[in-house]
A = this chain, B = another copy of it.
Amino acid sequence: MKNELLKVVKIGGKLIENETKFSAFLEDFVALEGPKILVHGGGNLATEIAGKLGYKTQMFEGRRITDADSIKVITMVYGGFINKNIVAKLQALQNNAIGLSGADGMSITSKKRPVKEVDFGFVGDVEKVNSKFIDSLLKQDITLVFSAISCTKEGVLLNTNGDSVAAEIAKAMSSIYETELYLCFEKKGVLADTKNEDSVIEEINREKYRELLEGKIINDGMLPKLHNSFHALGNGVKNIFLGDFRLLKKESVYTKITN
């Protein structure tokens, strides 16, 4: 019996860093009715803290390598500072919430990404979402707030892509709830022209997606979001929306993903 609608919302790091936008987002989030889950990124604070602590950020072809120092900072900043502050802010808005990493209640189990040409370090891909445990909290009217940190079966904490975490949670929970996925980031939606903020494509179905891929219309940052979206859509998630910090209100333009 899937009678209730669960909303899984991902909020990007750049939006969290913008105090005005983040406050507006949280107000809209609190106003959502029914069970809900928030997954947050971390933005630049981890890089800033790592720099101050004298840790060097290692990159490979523009992608960050999560070494032992990096996962330490990520656990501090995303798993601690940002996560607990979001929970406290929700409590202040009378929205009972709990902050979790994937290690907590083994809610998100992952596997370390296999080493190919380069070892990206403590980076994981989601293997299993503990839907039963998550549901036990939702049933108590508690909003779950996840930092994008997962955990191997052997108890190793791994940095994990926030969009993937949100998509995997939505996918897993769709066995219990009608599930919607909202990916909120710094753009109004998927843009047809990255130089034009108003070129939002309002609907993308699989055929359109193929066209966009073939025409190389979509920029690199957007590709994983769309990949995750169609993966979720093909695995039980009912509706998927991409947009900015006001996406939850659905008053302005956004992108809807359809079959």
- Which residues of A come within 8 Å of B, CB atoms? 49, 52-54, 72, 75-81, 83-85, 87-93, 96-101, 103-106, 133, 136, 140, 142, 149, 151, 153-157
Contacts and interface: CB of A to CB of B under 8 A. Distances in A.
A154 B92 CA distance: 5
Shortest Cβ-Cβ A-B pairs, 8 listed: A80-B80, A92-B155, A76-B76, A79-B80, A98-B104, A88-B155, A91-B155, A76-B80
Contacts of A101: 84, 87, 99
Each complex incorporates copies of this chain amounting to: 2
A84 B71 CA distance: 11
Contacts of A142: 105
Report whether over half of chain A's contact residues are helix, strand or loop; otherwise say mixed.
helix
Residue with the highest number of chain B CB atoms closer than 10 Å, among A75, A79, A91, A98: A91
Nearest to A90: B155
Nearest to A105: B98
Contacts of A85: 75, 157
A97 B105 CA distance: 5
8 contacts: A53-B53, A75-B80, A84-B103, A92-B154, A92-B155, A98-B105, A99-B101, A136-B136
